[in-house]
A = this chain, B = another copy of it.
Amino acid sequence: MDERFMRMALEEAQRAYDLDEVPVGAVLVKGGKVLSRSHNLCEAASDPTAHAEMLAIKEAIRKTGGLLLGSTLYVTLEPCAMCAGAALNTRISRIVFGAFDIRGGCCGSVADITDGWFNHSIEVMGGILEHESKALLSRFFANKR
């Protein structure tokens, strides 16, 4: 189940790649149904906050009109502070991510803000289809050099 939705997140990451955006994709799922799916659009939007997770969270909020308790955020790269914080604020229950981000990851790598610091905690699982997520990112940055 987790792999299935992570493959969907990887499809989103590929879309970002095709647009010359840092290839990160995200899918929000609740009760086995996809609430939203999105990919990084920082370049196109000239907006450093247009991360895949933020866009997916915003779309899911628009659709559901409320908090996202009980939902799982699938994302190909470990969320940063902003995105993990947005997941906390919207009461997302679970985060499943692909590649670890040793520079900015806030679900364990640099910091872990998901577990017990605030009035809501998020269950986190990292490394799902890690190789595929990482390979896409590596290919992107190799092409940039």
Contacts of A61 in B (CB 8 A): 46-49
A81 sits at the interface (CB 8 A): yes
Task: Pick the contact of A49: B46, B84, B90, B103 (CB < 8 A).
Answer: B90
Interface centre among A83, A89, A117, A118 (most CB of B within 10 A): A89
Bound Cα distance from A19 to B86, whole angstroms: 23
A80 sits at the interface (CB 8 A): yes
Q: Are A58 and B48 touching (Cβ within 8 A)? A: no
Known contacts A48-B90, A83-B85; 10 further A-B pairs (Cβ under 8 A): A46-B61, A46-B66, A47-B61, A49-B54, A49-B90, A81-B84, A81-B106, A85-B85, A103-B119, A111-B117
